[in-house]
Structure 1
């Protein structure tokens, strides 16, 4: 089963606060008995200089390293501080035979998807998160990664909100009744962030409704 969720964690928030508009999307996470939890992620959409300065002083991570740099994005590796609630949440996923499929920053927290073997594992994971002070908000549950329920279609809450808001504001009307800046104002985000949510949302809808499987 695939679970779409969000929760508020402090990881990278100090670095993100100083780099307005920066968005982070996880690529890979791993740890062993002898290696602390590492996260590899893409960052885009903000001031990279400010973000990297923030990474150096962010209390939630250590040893940040820029791995790849492109025109509009950068790929980083950080090591989590061992005592973070998010580290316990990740270890609980692994111990319950789950797998983190993706995760990205959304506002002051993270949205993501995890594959669990059954609902019992999900419930135990939520209990273990609550035990370390993390409240998990589950947005959707579906059986197969590519077959979400009709009211979700694999969209994150942020993507769904952006698409609905854009439609209600007349962004898709001909002629358009608002701009990306107008959509962003309604969502409380920058026009670039609004554009990114709409683009990702439309790609997700196409993949889950129109592409042949």
Structure 2
């Protein structure tokens, strides 16, 4: 049963804790799934110069590029995080999962992970505990649970997203082309493109629905 889990982990375990100490109002959101390549990251704080200086001084992250301003209070960087985040990502991937979203504020990372089933989630959670990631689970959703009334991803869509994530399709730059991924999955280029669009649309629709409907769970 496809499962999405939302969890938190402290910045002193996943990275950029020193940036939060220097700039308490610092926030960031990784643009897209986490892969092996340095991701694009939306950041905000008191001002761009202060944010960049704090990141440059933080030993747990490298500033690869500072891109054009997006607005007066939100800027786009390419950041390379330390081995802690890479280790976290490997645990997820090795247990049939994918990282859908990652963001942080107030010294805490918030992540949304997708797993093939609850057993895979449980296995990953055990490793997180063994390696002291100090994760705190906030919400678990079974996407194809009939009682839930929604089924955003089919098993085929899930397997496609996981394979695309494993091969680096969501990395920036991509490590595999759409054609190469289609060959790996033994389907046509057009069929894969349509499957990815439908999967993305299903996940976005589910996310918007969750955000607009009260969950009754205090965060």
With normalisation by structure 2, the TM-score equals: 0.60
Alpha-carbon distance, 1:205 to partner: 3.5
Residues in 2 aligned to 1:13 and 1:51: alpha-carbon distance in whole angstroms: 13
Residue 75 of structure 1 aligns with which residue? 76
SS in 2 for 1:66: strand
1:7 and 1:110 in contact (8 A); partners too: yes
Give the length in aligned residue pairs: 149
Q: What are the ranges of 5 or more consecutive residues in structure 1 without an aligned counterpart?
A: 32-36, 150-201
1:89 and 1:128 in contact (8 A); partners too: no
Residue 211 of structure 2 aligns with which residue? 205
Deviations 1:139-196 (A, max 9, x none): 1111229x9x7xxxxxxxxxxxxxxxxxxxxxxxxxxxxxxxxxxxxxxxxxxxxxxx
Selected match of 2:35 from 24, 30, 36: 30
Deviations 1:89-146 (A, max 9, x none): 111111222111112113221112101111111111112122222121111111229x
Q: What are the ranges of 5 or more consecutive residues in structure 2 without an aligned counterpart?
A: 149-207, 215-219
Q: Could you say which structure has the greater relative contact order, defined with CA pairs below 8 angstroms and 6 or more residues apart?
A: 2
RMSD: 2.8
Selected match of 1:6 from 8, 17, 29: 8
SS in 2 for 1:123: helix
1:97 and 1:116 in contact (8 A); partners too: yes
With normalisation by structure 1, the TM-score equals: 0.61
Distance 1:53 1:3, change over 3 A: same
